[in-house]
């Protein structure tokens, strides 16, 4: 067992009963961006002004709306072929509102995203790919 130099009383081994948190790669949100559809990218551009290149991980910082949609695509919460709609965006905002930190990083983008959907797509459940 090694003992850190700055704090001799702190062990580098996780104490029993404490679950070690998995280290999430700091680039994973950018890598998740490769899962975005063309319509996702257009919605993100119209709502945030950030253009995300298709088919490859984004080479820089991506905004919180893009990161949230990309994470949901990667995790399967948005199925392949499922379009983003008003119900999804409002649910995403609700999930952030219920976060114990009280911080909603997509709140500033929500109105612009809903406005884009209202002008360019259905605001209902939309098309769902049932072949998956």
In a domain, residue 66? The reply is: yes
pLDDT at 14 (0 to 100): 43
Answer yes or no: is 90 within a domain: yes
Q: What percent of the chain has pLDDT over 70?
A: 64
Q: What burial class does residue 28 get, using C-beta atoms within 10 Å of its C-beta: 0-12 exposed, 13-18 middle, 19+ buried?
A: middle
Local confidence band at 66 (pLDDT 50, 70, 90 cut-offs): very high
Domain count, the chain: 1
Domain contains 39 = yes
Q: What is the mean pLDDT of residues 24-43?
A: 75
Asked whether residue 16 is assigned to any structural domain, the reply reads no
Q: What is the dihedral of CA 37, 63, 44, 91, to 10 degrees?
A: 90
Average pLDDT in the 62-78 region?
Answer: 91
pLDDT at 94: 94
The CA distances from residue 73 to 29, 33, 78, 79, 84, in Å, are: 11, 9, 5, 7, 10
Q: Do the domain assignments include residue 8?
A: no
């Amino acid at each position: 067992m090694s003992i850190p130099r700055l704090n001799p009383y702190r062990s580098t081994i996780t104490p029993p009963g404490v679950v070690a948190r998995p280290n999430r790669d700091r680039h994973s949100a950018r890598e998740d961006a490769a899962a975005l559809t063309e319509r996702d990218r257009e919605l993100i551009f119209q709502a945030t002004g950030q253009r995300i290149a298709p088919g490859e991980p984004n080479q820089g910082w991506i905004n919180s709306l893009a990161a949230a949609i990309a994470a949901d695509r990667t995790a399967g919460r948005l199925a392949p072929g499922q379009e983003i709609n008003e119900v999804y965006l409002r649910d995403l905002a609700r999930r952030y509102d219920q976060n114990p930190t009280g911080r909603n990083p997509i709140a500033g983008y929500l109105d612009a995203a809903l406005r884009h959907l209202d002008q360019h797509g259905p605001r209902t459940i939309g098309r769902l790919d049932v072949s998956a």
